[in-house]
Structure formats: C-alpha cells, structure tokens
Amino acid sequence: MRSNGQPRADDWVNHVIRIRDTQDQVAFAELFRHFAPRVKAFLMRSGADPSLAEECAQEVMATLWHKAHMFDPTRATVATWVFTIARNRKIDALRKQKRPEPEDLPWGPEAEPDQEDILSLQEETRALGQALAELPEKQRELIERAYFGDLSHSEIAAETGLPLGTIKSRIRLALDRLRHTMK
C-alpha cells in the first residue's frame, strides 16, 4: 500500500491472483471500487455516452472476474489489462450500434442499378480479389477474418494465439498494400 491508501501496481496483481485462485470477493470489490469509475470516465472521455460507458464498465469488471486466469503480469499491468478490455468492449459496442436493425432495412424491390455501375462494381470486385490474392498469406488470412469473418482484432488474437500487436500490424500493412494496389 502507498501512503495515500491506494494499492501499488503489484498489489493489484495480487488481487487478480486472489480472484483467479480463490474467487476472492473482497479482492474483486476493491478492484471494482478502484477501476470501475476510472473505466467509465475513460470511456466517456473517448466519446461514449454515459449509459454506454456504464454498461461497458460493468462488462469490463465482469470480464475481470470471469477471466482473471487470462491475466499475465509479465505482459501488462492490471491497469493496462483492464483498460485494454474496456477499449475493446467499447469498440464492440459501437460496432453493434452501427449494424442496422431489421426494421431499418429497406423492404421491397430496389431500383435496378445502371449497367455502367454493374460493370464498374464487377471490375472493382475483380481488382480487389486479385489484390487480396497477391497479399502475403499471413496478412490475407487476417484481413479475411477481420472483414469477411466480422471478427474484432481481440477475437482474432484469441482464435490464432497471435499477439494483438502483431495482428494490428499485419492488418495495417495489408490495408496499406490494398490501398496502394487499388489506386
């Protein structure tokens, strides 16, 4: 403990270990009191409305409880781990908000596209397929999972076992190559 009564970073690690090993509710309550308001404030500063921030903060803390076994103190501090979970939860929540609800989708026949638009779209599709085929296999696989499989970077990391930073780097490099090729 520090002189201000706040646990040090290594004390938070001990809290997570107690949650992992014995489902210690006191340790969880202390982590919750410390991190939940900070997570909510962080999410609101990054543009989330108060209700979304509150919901995400609750989910983050529930994740901490259920997935304490996944925390690795050699890779990150507890604070870094918690705020990474928060950031990913916010991204997931925003993605869900942007998906149209069935009642928002148009019903009935849509106007037929012009033949010129069809040919242009077919050419773009062909060019994109060729550009994707020319990507290195590791980059292409991650692009396909992210954009065709609709997986978040965190979900890809969980499926592949690759570090999140590697996934982000490969996707960024692949998108740069695609942009250059499609100009």
What residues does each domain of the chain span?
A: 9-98, 117-182
How many CA atoms are closer than 13 Å to the CA of 49, on its beta-carbon side? 5
pLDDT in tens, 21-66: 999 999 999 999 999 999 999 888 888 888 888 988 999 999 999 9
Residue 39 one-letter amino acid? V
Least-confidence region, from 63-77, 104-118, 140-154: 104-118
Rounded to 5°, angle at Cα 89 from 156 and 48 = 140
pLDDT value, residue 99: 56
pLDDT in tens, 99-118: 555 555 565 565 666 777 77
Fold designation for 117-182 = Arc Repressor Mutant, subunit A (1.10.10)
CA-CA distance, 171 to 8, in Å (whole number)? 36
In CATH, the number for domain 9-98 is 1.10.1740.10
pLDDT value, residue 102: 55
* SS3 per residue for 24-69: CHHHHHHHHHHHHHHHHHHHHHCCCCHHHHHHHHHHHHHHHHHCHH
pLDDT value, residue 101: 54
Give residue 9's pLDDT band: very low, low, confident or very high (50, 70, 90).
low
Sequence-separated (6 or more) residues with CB below 8 Å from residue 77: 9, 12, 13
Phi, psi of 6 (to 5 degrees): -85, 140
Which pair of structure tokens corresponds to residue 100? 């149209």
The answer, as to whether pTM is greater than 0.95, is no
